[in-house]
Chain A
Amino acid sequence: MSNPYAQISRDGLWSNNIVFAQVLALCPTLAVTGTATNGLGMGLATTAVLVMTGLLISLLRNVITPQVRIPAFIIVIAMVVTLVEMALNAWVHELYKVLGLFIPLIVTNCAILGRAEAYASKENGARAAFDGLMMGIGFTLALVVLGAVREILGSGTLFANASLLLGPAFKHLELVIIPDYRGFLLMILPPGGFLVLGFLMAAKRIIERRRGRSGAIEAGCSPAAHGA
């Protein structure tokens, strides 16, 4: 009915969003979204890994037998993450100092295994890489929104320290939303993450209902990935 790439984009960004629809990757999601900047860093690093593993697994899909696919996917993902970490540390050290904390967390991100299992192992390389890109961007957007809400409520700022991640040119992104704010500790700690995530998911359902769609979560994930 429609262009497959448009469908992939819609799935990744909205209807099958990793955080708000699949509810995967909660460990990195809740751990890093105390600020919008950290959410952005984690999202970008995850996007890079999603594109690479999507492409690799799609290319290997005819070699890997169904019986050993899960361990094979995990080996490929762990290898890509480790190589990315070593390369960043050696050659893009400034970025590594900011993202370094997040990279090992990507291995534990079950959304990457989920995409390998549900999509990349069944589709051609171009589509798998594009799916990785769109899922990654959707994940990044979700993390930035979650981080922004928690940061405004928790610290009264927005995009604090963005210039450390993106370079001095982005200094103007760093905003103080509520001057002389005394802070709301709960929002920065994990319970705040669960609260905000719950409200944002509810908001997504309301928007979908208003638009006359069924709020049903599209099945984009295997049972194995759900268990992760």
Chain B
Amino acid sequence: MNASSRIQAFRASPLFQALLLGVFALVTAALLSMGNQTTRGEIEKRRQEDLMASLVQVIPHEMHDNDLLADTLSLAGPDGAPVTIYRARKGGAIVAAAYLVTGHGYGGDISLIMGVDLSGKLLGVRVISHFETPGLGDKIEEKKSGWIFGFAGLSLSSPPAEEWKVKKDGGHFDQFSGATITPRGVVAAVRKGLEFFASQHDAISGEAAKVAVRPAEAGQ
């Protein structure tokens, strides 16, 4: 057997197939980890920018003078999972807080960010991500309709607690034609978020920690 026919025979052997596939997997894994290394920092920056952009929408810029992303607090949320609270301060005093809540929509979880001032009044609500039907449930996005702006200025007492429902269920909020489940999920999530705020008011506003304020506590 000459050399070239030996190579031919080796190319047909199972060992060669396994090696070839192994090399393919190694090279792709290496390329992917290089890609991940290159983009990870940028992607994290974009994520922070997105978060900041939505924070600015639920806590007006003129209300605070601190860096919202740096002044956070982690509390046990309504369903047990930790919730990160972004606190807005003016001249050192806490004036408002923003945090993420999750609603249950037609297509899956709806992630919302809500800003609340210290009296428990909503400054604004925005949708971060959702899986609702395009053209129907996606009217909760601020780009597609003004529905979500209707939350600003409301609180647990206005409208009264029993009216924190969509009109179809006898409450205060409009549903969309063809989509009731989506706004129902959003209204319930915002209400739950307000109740959470009320129950954690002292922890969020710093009242509880007033006795001994140490800089270390502001970070966590």
Residues of chain A having any CB pair with chain B under 8 Å? 34-35, 38, 63-65, 67-68, 71-72, 75-76, 78-79, 82-83, 86-87, 89-91, 93, 97, 151, 154-155, 160-161, 164, 182-183, 185, 188-189
Contacts and interface: CB of A to CB of B under 8 A. Distances in A.
Contacts of A78: 28
Interface string B48-71: 011000000000000000000000
B133 A68 contact: no
B91 interface: no
Interface of B: 11-12, 16-17, 20-21, 24-25, 28, 31-32, 35-36, 38-39, 42-43, 46, 49-50, 133-136, 143-144, 177-178
Contact of B135 (A71, A160, A164): A160
B135 A90 contact: no
A47 to B, nearest CB: 21
B178 A72 contact: no
B135 A35 contact: yes
Contacts of B38: 90
Contacts of A86: 35-36, 39, 43
B220 to A, nearest CB: 29
B134 A87 contact: no
B133 A83 contact: no
Given A68-B17, A75-B28, A82 B35 contact: yes
A185 B178 contact: yes
Given A38-B134, A83-B32, A89 B39 contact: yes
A79 B178 contact: no
Nearest to B41: A90
- Candidate in B24, B36, B133 with the most chain A CB atoms within 10 angstroms: B24
Contact of B46 (A64, A79, A90, A154): A90
B17 A161 contact: no
B21 A188 contact: no
B43 A75 contact: no
B144 A83 contact: no
B12 to A, nearest CB: 8
B133 A79 contact: no
Contacts of B36: 86
B94 to A, nearest CB: 31
B43 A89 contact: yes
B17 A65 contact: yes
A83 B32 CA distance: 7
Contact of A89 (B12, B28, B46, B177): B46
Contacts of A185: 136, 178
B25 A65 contact: no
Given A79-B28, A188-B136, 14 more contacts: A35-B135, A65-B11, A65-B16, A65-B17, A67-B17, A68-B21, A79-B32, A90-B42, A90-B46, A91-B39, A160-B135, A161-B144, A183-B135, A183-B136
